[in-house]
C-alpha cells in the first residue's frame, strides 16, 4: 500500500519523532491554515494517526477522499466518528490490552484512597494537624461489595485484583458475560443499589453517554463511592457534583472528566473526592507499548492494507 500519512493532534513526543522519520507523517495544522493544507495534501492522505483525546471527526473524514485507515493511539476511540469511517470502508484501529494492567491498577488505587482517605490523611500530616490530634477513622475496604460497569478487558482486570481483597463482585454489561463467576445485574441502577462502590470501566461513545445518571447515584447511596477510570462522558457530571455536595453519595475517585482539562470548580474543595488528571494509563511502560502497537498498525497497513488491532 502507498499514500501519505497524516498526524491529527499531538502524540507522545517519541512516537511523533518515529512516525515522522519512518512514514514522513505530516501534522494537520491547528490554525487558520488547515483548509489550505487539506486542499493541497488531503487527496493524497490514505492513513491518519491520532489519539483518543483528539480523534478524526466526520468533517475531516469528508476532507480526505482517499483515506483508508485511522490508527488510534489509545484504547478509547470515541472521539473518532467510527460510523462515518465505516460508511466509507475506512478501517479503524486502537491499542487494546497493553494499557489494561495500569488502568486497573489505578482503579484499585482510587478505591483504596477514597475508602481509606489516603490523600486526605497525607494533607492532614503535611499541614501539621497531627500534633493537634489523631486523624479521623476511615472505612475498611477489604470485603466490600464492588459493582463494575463494563466487564471487558479492563473491567475483568479490576475484578481479578478485587478478588485479592476478598470483595464481593457484581457487574453490568449490555449482556451477561458467559462463564463469568460474578453476579450479573440487569441494570446499572440495580448494580449500584447492591454495592458499596461502583467502578466505571465502560467504553466511551454515544451508546454510553451519561449512563451514570442521578438515579444511579441515588441508588448508590450516602455510603457508596463512585470511581471512574473510563470516560468523563459516561457520567452525568452535573448530577455527580450535586450528589457529592448534597451528601447523596459518600465520595468519588475520578481520573476522567466531561470537558478535560476543565474540572468542575465545586469538586476542587471536596475532601471526599480524589481527582487525577487522566493518568490511569500514564506509565512509561504502557506508553511505550501503546506507541509500539500504533507503529505496528501503521506498518501493517502500509504493507498490505490490514490493521493488527481493528475495532
Select which of 88, 116, 210, 278 is catalytic: 278
Annotated catalytic residue, options 231, 237, 248, 287:
231
Residue 144 backbone dihedrals phi, psi, to 5 degrees: -80, 170
Whether 172 is catalytic: no
CA distance linking residue 101 with residue 291, whole number of Å:
16
How do 197-200 and 69-73 pair as beta strands? unpaired
Phi-psi region of 117 (alpha: psi -120 to 50; beta: other; left: phi over 0): left
Catalytic residue among 22, 140, 163, 260: 260
CA–CA separation, 267 vs 274, rounded Å?
Answer: 9
126 labelled catalytic: no
Does the annotation count 260 as an active-site position?
Answer: yes
Residue 179 phi/psi, 5° resolution? 80, 0
Residue 186 exposed, middle or buried by CB count within 10 Å (0-12, 13-18, 19+): exposed
Per the omega criterion (within 30 degrees of 0), is the bond before 261 cis?
Answer: yes
Distance (Å, whole) CA 311 – CA 297: 12
* Residue 159 exposed, middle or buried by CB count within 10 Å (0-12, 13-18, 19+): buried
First to last CA, the chain: 20
DSSP 259: B
Q: For residues 250 and 7, what is the distance between their CA atoms, to the nearest angstrom?
A: 43
Interhelix angle 118-126/100-116, rounded to 10 degrees, is: 60
- Catalytic residues, by residue number, are 231, 260, 278
Amino acid at each position: 500500500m502507498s499514500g501519505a500519512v497524516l498526524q491529527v493532534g499531538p502524540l507522545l513526543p517519541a512516537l511523533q519523532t518515529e512516525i515522522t522519520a519512518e512514514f514522513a507523517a505530516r501534522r494537520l495544522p491547528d490554525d487558520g491554515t488547515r483548509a489550505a493544507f487539506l486542499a493541497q495534501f488531503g487527496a493524497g492522505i490514505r492513513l491518519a494517526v491520532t489519539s483518543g483525546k483528539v480523534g478524526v471527526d466526520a468533517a475531516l473524514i469528508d476532507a480526505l477522499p482517499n483515506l483508508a485507515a485511522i490508527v488510534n493511539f489509545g484504547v478509547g476511540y470515541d472521539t473518532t466518528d467510527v460510523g462515518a469511517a465505516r460508511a466509507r470502508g475506512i478501517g479503524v484501529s486502537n491499542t487494546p490490552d497493553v494499557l489494561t494492567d495500569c488502568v486497573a491498577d489505578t482503579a484499585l488505587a482510587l478505591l483504596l484512597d477514597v475508602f481509606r482517605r489516603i490523600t486526605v490523611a497525607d494533607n492532614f500530616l503535611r499541614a501539621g494537624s497531627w500534633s493537634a490530634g489523631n486523624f479521623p477513622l476511615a472505612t475498611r475496604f477489604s470485603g466490600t461489595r464492588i459493582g463494575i460497569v463494563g466487564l471487558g478487558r479492563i473491567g475483568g482486570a479490576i475484578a481479578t485484583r478485587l478478588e485479592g481483597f476478598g470483595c464481593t463482585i457484581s457487574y453490568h454489561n449490555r449482556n451477561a458475560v458467559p462463564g463469568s463467576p460474578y453476579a450479573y445485574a440487569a441494570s446499572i441502577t440495580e448494580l449500584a443499589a447492591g454495592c458499596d462502590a461502583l467502578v466505571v470501566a465502560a467504553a466511551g461513545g454515544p451508546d454510553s453517554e451519561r449512563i451514570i445518571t442521578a438515579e444511579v447515584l441515588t441508588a448508590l447511596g450516602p455510603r457508596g463511592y463512585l470511581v471512574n477510570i473510563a470516560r468523563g462522558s459516561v457520567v452525568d457530571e452535573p448530577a455527580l457534583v450535586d450528589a457529592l455536595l448534597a451528601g447523596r453519595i459518600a465520595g468519588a475517585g475520578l481520573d476522567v472528566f466531561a470537558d478535560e482539562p476543565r474540572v468542575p470548580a465545586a469538586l476542587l474543595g471536596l475532601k471526599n473526592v480524589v481527582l487525577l488528571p487522566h493518568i490511569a494509563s500514564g506509565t512509561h511502560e504502557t506508553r511505550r507499548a501503546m506507541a509500539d502497537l500504533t507503529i505496528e498498525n501503521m506498518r501493517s497497513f502500509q504493507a498490505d492494507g490490514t490493521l493488527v488491532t481493528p475495532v
